Structure 1
Amino acid sequence: MKKLILSAAIILGGLSVQAAVSERKISTVNSFIFQDEYTEVASDAVPAAVKSTAEKSFPNTKLEKVYKNAKNEYKLEISNGDKKYTVFTDASGNIIKK
């Protein structure tokens, strides 16, 4: 009987050691993407330089939508068949990498 009680005490003691929670340091990184507010504009309001850049740089594509922000930068959504692309340019037609 003593052996049974001793065995039970050893097993329970071993389980309680494994059940101890080690302190973990959890770090949280808060990140966000800052995006300028773009508003949709009509394709007639797009400067000729921006249109020509889109036509020369991406032949055989269709200009779907055009957006403009306060910095006079344009966001062009173009498509070629079922593939869609987003291109950013300035008012002079220079492509901006974002």
Structure 2
Amino acid sequence: MKKLYYVAAFSLASLTAFAQNTAEANIGATTEVSVQDNYTEIDSSELPEAVTAAIAKDYPTATVNKAYVNKDKQYKLEVVLKDGASGTLYADQDGNWIEM
């Protein structure tokens, strides 16, 4: 009877050793890519003239914090107004606003 308890204890111990999470092995070199909803971050100086003109016309107190572009040349702009309000604007390469 003692042997049965020892066998059961050793079996349980060996099974729990195999049930360990191996996620720790995946920790290591990671690459951070700034892609949001298929948009890639760009410098605000890379915005087309039509987009910067549309911002200046419609949001004269806005400052572009971050700018993103997708493969269709649509721009996602994170802006902050002078009064502290912030938001996200979407525009095409011709400076037309896009509803998202």
Coarse TM-score class (shorter-chain normalised): 0.5 to 0.7
The question of 1:83 aligning with 2:85 is answered yes
> Which amino acid is 1:89 matched to?
A
Residue pairs, 1:1-98, within 5 angstroms: 36-80=37-81, 81-98=83-100
**C-alpha distance in structure 1 between counterparts of 2:51 and 2:62, whole Å:** 14
**C-alpha distance in structure 1 between counterparts of 2:37 and 2:70, whole Å:** 7
Q: How many residues align?
A: 64
Q: Superposition RMSD on alpha carbons, in Å? A: 1.4
**C-alpha distance in structure 2 between counterparts of 1:73 and 1:36, whole Å:** 12
**When the two structures are superposed, what TM-score results if normalisation uses the length of structure 2?**
0.60
- Measure how far apart 1:39 and its partner are: 0.7
**Identity between Structure 1 and Structure 2 (%):** 36
**C-alpha distance in structure 2 between counterparts of 1:55 and 1:85, whole Å:** 15
* Uncovered stretches (5+) of structure 1, i.e. residues with no partner: 1-34
1:33-52 CA distance string (max 9 Å, x none): xx840110011211000001
* Uncovered stretches (5+) of structure 2, i.e. residues with no partner: 1-35
Task: Indicate the structure (1 or 2) with the bigger Cα radius of gyration.
Answer: 1
**When the two structures are superposed, what TM-score results if normalisation uses the length of structure 1?**
0.61
SS at match of 1:50: helix
